[in-house]
């Protein structure tokens, strides 16, 4: 992919507490953008940003994983940051290199220690933060509870731009409030969605 000017490049750090699906999200973004022809999975040791044999053996990110996704004439550099507190220096390095942070929060567990640490460091850097709720299809996932907790802890600016279709095992897709469109995902694990 050729990018003509720096204003067409975006650097996004994907950060958050451990086990919130950061690496899976990076894999999904690569697949959806067409940068990858398959959906990588941590469980299968096929996630593009967990390429180190030690990461694959442990099933966790130990360092930064960097990749890019082409999207609408832009090059989106994704920086997959580790979630364990012991590796937070790596997360800080990734966030320093980024224009913004995509902060993953589990809709099951809610706000955790590294959620707050990432937020505080983003405030120190004065970079914007986008929240991404993960694990919406899991038992005890609660969109409203998680969004309420985010607003209480991080301010009213934590406003949803998408709403889920369904809950837990019935989670089927999202309604995008920006485009006013709904998308239902195929249940085959490919990540493909159709507009409804």
- What is the per-residue DSSP string for 52-70? SHHHHHHTS--S-EEEEEE
Note the pLDDT tens digit of each residue in 70-92. 888 899 999 999 988 889 999 99
* CA distance linking residue 139 with residue 181, whole number of Å: 26
Structure tokens at 165: 């279709």
Q: Could you tell me which of 109, 107, 85 has the C-alpha nearest to residue 15? A: 85
pTM score, whole prediction = 0.88
Q: Could you tell me which of 171, 22, 184 has the C-alpha nearest to residue 103? A: 22
Q: Are 185 and 173 in contact (CB under 8 A)?
A: yes
User: Which residues of the chain, if any, have pLDDT below 50?
Assistant: none
pLDDT at 36: 79
pLDDT at 45: 67
Name 73's Cβ contacts closer than 8 Å, sequence gap at least 6: 8
pLDDT at 2: 63
pLDDT at 25: 87
Alpha helix stretches (DSSP H) within 34-142: 53-58, 88-96, 113-125
Q: Are 118 and 101 in contact (CB under 8 A)?
A: yes
pLDDT at 1: 55
pLDDT at 40: 67
């Amino acid at each position: 992919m050729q990018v003509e000017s720096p204003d067409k490049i975006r650097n996004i750090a994907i950060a958050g507490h451990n086990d919130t699906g950061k690496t899976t999200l990076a894999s999904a973004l690569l697949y959806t953008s067409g940068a990858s022809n398959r959906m990588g999975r941590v469980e299968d040791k096929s996630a593009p940003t967990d390429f180190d044999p030690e990461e694959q053996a442990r099933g966790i990110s130990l360092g930064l994983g960097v990749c890019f996704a082409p999207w609408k004439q832009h090059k989106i550099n994704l920086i997959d940051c580790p979630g364990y507190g012991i590796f937070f220096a790596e997360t800080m390095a990734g966030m320093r290199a980024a224009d913004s942070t995509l902060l993953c929060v589990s809709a099951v567990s809610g706000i955790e220690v590294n959620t707050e640490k990432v937020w505080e460091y983003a405030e120190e850097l004065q970079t914007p933060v986008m929240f991404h709720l993960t694990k919406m299809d899991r038992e005890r996932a609660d969109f409203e509870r998680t969004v309420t907790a985010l607003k209480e802890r991080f301010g009213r600016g934590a406003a949803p731009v998408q709403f889920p279709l369904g809950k837990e095992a019935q989670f089927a897709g999202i309604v995008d409030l920006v485009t006013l469109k709904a998308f239902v995902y195929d249940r085959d694990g490919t990540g493909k969605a159709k507009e409804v």
